[in-house]
Amino acid sequence: MNFTINRTAFISQLNNVLRAISSKTTIPILTGLKMVVDTDRIVLTGSNSDITIESVIDASDEDYGLTVKEAGAIVLPARFFSEIVKKLPDKQVTIEVTNGFQADITSGTAKFQINGQDASNFPHLPEIESDNTITLPTDVLKEVIRQTVIAVSKQESRPILAGVHFTLKDGLLTAVATDSHRLAQRKVALENVDSSINFDIIIPGKSLDELSGMMGDENEDVMVQVSENQVLFIFGNTHFYSRLLEGNYPETSQLIPTTSDTTVEVEAGTFLSSIDRASLLSHESRNDVVKLTIQPANQRVKISSDSPDIGTVEEEVATTALEGQDLEISFNPNYMKDALRSFGQSTIRISFTSALRPFTLVPTEDTENFVHLITPVRTF
């Protein structure tokens, strides 16, 4: 194996693949980076058995300046190899494999020799049938992930809740996440999707975080392919595989209230700032709650919090609409801040039924396709 490549462009692809490689693995070869060199391309693969990332460097792309003298394959120690390439002195780097599994890395006046492993021992990628494929715009998929992944559970006691539940039926994609204290649900009507393609899968939240971080802001499409226990996302020159969580996700549609006794409309960004200020004191308190007091008759809404050791805070909330019955309700400010961030700068409607029942947040311009639900905190 022998090739020369532009070092900076090579590093960007190494960084992508390194996202999937962990030093804490029970399979030693997975601490390595698999590199397969063909006459016209290089395929880099990294895996931690939960996610696998494959990057293709094509010789036809002039940015890479790729010249292949000899094809071959090897697995190199990922972190070490990456650090070497980043610190090399020249714009170009040449990698040559000699004596079986020993790689010579040359750039300018620097030369490293590192030991590799047989690429045939690296786990094979799952085969996913391409006839179960949908296409999504990158910005839509990133937004769906951003708006739902915040609600996945961090507790190991219910592993099924550590994922986002995706269903596709009759062209409607629905994503739901809940940790049993809050819930986020987003719906997207997909165009040009074969109505025969339906799926019901649970993707780990950690996988979606990595995926979202890798996808650029370019207005390109992402192909999504689903198999029995894997999902594959294809974008640019990257293949991103994730295992699926096994089991039945709890039925969540019944949890979202359809009626309310009190509604408040606020600017999400302004309300977020108010909650942020109130949480300065709530975080110092043992129960960490913020109280919302609503008085529609007086057209008055205020938030308050206190810490026995520090003091109290109280602030009037600016509203764009307010109606219903008087209400006092307490909640976890971190849940509220996460929810408000997911709405950006839009105006939202918060609907309450009682002080102890979950309440919902929806954007006023699109009340059907995105909802966030938060369970209040009992303070008496």
Q: Give me the DSSP letters along 237-262.
A: TEEEEEEPPPSPPPP-GGGS-S--SE
Q: What is the CA radius of gyration of the chain?
A: 25
- CA 105, distance to chain mean position in Å, is 35
Residue 187 forms beta bridges with which residues?
A: 174
pLDDT tens string, the chain, 380 residues long: the values are 999 999 999 999 999 999 999 888 888 999 999 999 999 999 999 999 899 999 999 999 999 999 999 999 999 999 999 999 999 999 999 999 987 899 999 999 999 999 999 999 999 988 887 777 899 999 999 999 999 999 999 988 889 999 999 999 998 999 999 999 999 999 999 888 888 888 999 999 999 999 999 987 767 899 999 988 999 999 999 999 999 999 999 999 889 998 999 999 999 999 999 999 998 888 777 778 999 999 999 899 999 988 888 888 999 999 999 999 999 999 999 999 999 999 999 999 999 999 999 999 999 998 889 999 999 998 76
Sorted by sequence, the CB contacts under 8 Å of residue 236 that are 6+ apart come out as 216, 218, 220
- According to CATH, the superfamily of the domain at 133-243 is DNA Polymerase III, subunit A, domain 2 (3.10.150.10)
End-to-end CA distance of the chain: 71
**CA–CA dist 120, 109 (Å, integer):** 32
* Contact between residue 230 and residue 128 where contact means Cβ atoms under 8 Å apart: yes
What is the edge-to-edge ordering of all strands in the sheet holding 221-226? 72-77, 32-37, 41-47, 51-58, 238-243, 230-235, 221-226, 133-137
DSSP 8-state secondary structure symbol assigned to residue 117: B
* Contact between residue 261 and residue 359 where contact means Cβ atoms under 8 Å apart: no
Residue 47 forms beta bridges with which residues?
A: 52
* Contact between residue 234 and residue 225 where contact means Cβ atoms under 8 Å apart: yes
196, burial (CB in 10 Å: exposed 0-12, middle 13-18, buried 19+): exposed
CA angle 178, 181, 187 (to 5 degrees): 35
Output the CA torsion 366→212→230→61 (10° steps).
120
Closest CA to 326 of 249, 262, 267: 262
Architecture of the domain delimited by 2-121? Roll (3.10)
Q: What is the CATH number of domain 256-374?
A: 3.70.10.10
**For the chain, domain boundaries:** 2-121, 133-243, 256-374
CATH topology agreement for domains 133-243 and 256-374: no
